[in-house]
Amino acid sequence: MIRGGLVSKIFQKTTELSLSDLKVDASLTLMNTDIERISVGLQMVHDLWANLIEIGLATYLLHRQLGAPSGIPLGVAVGMIYFAIKILY
């Protein structure tokens, strides 16, 4: 639904611009790339909050079974998040 809405809004805005303002070919080519990036970014945001809940629930259930050693997988998960952030930025 987001992709369809973005396509129609961007296309509408592109067709309202005059030809002297921009090259039509360039804007239509970039439109698909921009929409794809927005869609992937929104999916990543959705996955982020869901993964945080999943890690918390898994740690709680593991703590009920093992006790204190259940913090080790949590430490590994936090460490991997840290290294992923360092790699991306």
Domain boundaries, the chain: 2-88
Tens digit of pLDDT for each residue in 42-54? 778 878 888 889 8
Question: What are phi and psi for residue 87, nearest 5 degrees?
Answer: -70, -40
Q: Considering the chain, what percentage of its residues have pLDDT values greater than 70?
A: 79
Top mean-pLDDT range of 18-27, 41-50, 73-82: 73-82
How much is the pLDDT for 83? 92
Angle between helices 24-66 and 71-88 (to 10 degrees): 160
Rounded Cα gap, residues 72 and 89, in angstroms: 26
- Is 2:39 a contact under the CB 8 Å cutoff? yes
Question: What are phi and psi for residue 22, nearest 5 degrees?
Answer: -155, 170
